[in-house]
Amino acid sequence: MAPHRKTPRSAAVYLLTQILGEGRLLAELVQNGALEGLDPADRARAQRLASDTLRGLERADRILSKHMRKTPPLFVHNVLRLGTVELCTGGDAHGIVNDAVNLVAANKRAQALKGMVNAVLRKVAQHGPEEWKILRVPRLPKWLRGPLVAAYGPEQMGRIEQVQFATPPLDITPKSADQAPDLADALGGQVIMGGTVRLQNAGQVSLLPGFADGQWWVQDVAAALPVRLLGDVSGQTVLDVCAAPGGKTMQLAAGGAHVTALDISENRLKRVYENLDRTQLSAAVQAGNALDHQGAYDAIVLDAPCSATGTIRRHPDLPYSKDGAKFGDLFALQAQLLDHAVSLLAAGGRMVYCTCSLFPDEGECQIDDLLARNPSISVDRSALDRDDIDPAWITSEGGLRLTPDILADQGGMDGFYMCVLTKAS
Tens digit of each residue's pLDDT (9 = 90 or more) over 90-122 = 999 999 999 999 999 999 999 999 999 999 999
Indicate the fold that domain 170-423 takes in CATH: Rossmann fold (3.40.50)
For residues 148-153, give the mean pLDDT: 98
- Note the pLDDT of residue 204: 87
For residues 176-193, give the mean pLDDT: 94
One CATH from 3.90.600.10, 3.40.50.2300, 1.10.940.10, 3.40.50.1820 for 8-134: 1.10.940.10
Please determine, for residue 40, whether its predicted confidence score (pLDDT) is greater than 50: yes
Phi/psi of residue 223, nearest 5 degrees = -70, -20
Please determine, for residue 359, whether its predicted confidence score (pLDDT) is greater than 80: yes
Which residues, including other chains, have CB under 8 Å from residue 225's CB and lie 6 or more apart?
193, 194, 400, 402, 416, 418
Contact in structure between 135 and 26 (CB atoms under 8 Å): no
- Note the pLDDT of residue 50: 98
For residues 374-389, give the mean pLDDT: 96
For residues 118-139, give the mean pLDDT: 97
SS3 206: helix
Q: What does the DSSP 8-state code read for residue 207?
A: G
Please determine, for residue 3, whether its predicted confidence score (pLDDT) is greater than 70: no
For residues 12-33, give the mean pLDDT: 95
For residues 249-273, give the mean pLDDT: 96
Which residues, including other chains, have CB under 8 Å from residue 17's CB and lie 6 or more apart?
74, 75, 78
pLDDT in tens, 211-234: 999 999 999 999 999 999 999 999
Q: How far apart are CA 381 and CA 386, in angstroms?
A: 11
- Note the pLDDT of residue 2: 40
Contact in structure between 244 and 301 (CB atoms under 8 Å): no
Which residues, including other chains, have CB under 8 Å from residue 197's CB and lie 6 or more apart?
171, 172, 173, 174, 180, 183, 184, 187, 189, 190, 191, 216
Phi/psi of residue 214, nearest 5 degrees = 70, 30
Average pLDDT, the chain: 96
Stated length of the chain: 425
Please determine, for residue 1, whether its predicted confidence score (pLDDT) is greater than 80: no
Give strand ranges (E) for 175-311: 190-192, 196-199, 216-218, 237-241, 258-263, 284-287, 297-303
The region that residue 407 occupies, defined by phi over 0 for left and psi between -120 and 50 for alpha, beta otherwise, is left
Q: Where are the domains of the chain?
A: 8-134, 170-423
- Note the pLDDT of residue 4: 60
Please tell me the pTM assigned to this model: 0.93
For residues 132 and 202, which has the higher predicted lDDT (pLDDT)?
A: 132
Answer yes or no: 88 catalytic: no
Which residues, including other chains, have CB under 8 Å from residue 36's CB and lie 6 or more apart?
none
Which helix (H) or strand (E) segment is 157 a member of? helix 154-165
Q: Which of 306, 356, 365, 419 is catalytic?
A: 356
Nearest to 172 by CA among 201, 213, 203, 205: 205
At residue 120, what is the residue type?
Answer: V
Please determine, for residue 302, whether its predicted confidence score (pLDDT) is greater than 60: yes
| Residue-wise DSSP of 8-52 | HHHHHHHHHHHHHHH---HHHHHHTTTTTTS-HHHHHHHHHHHHH
For residues 261-289, give the mean pLDDT: 96
- Note the pLDDT of residue 353: 98
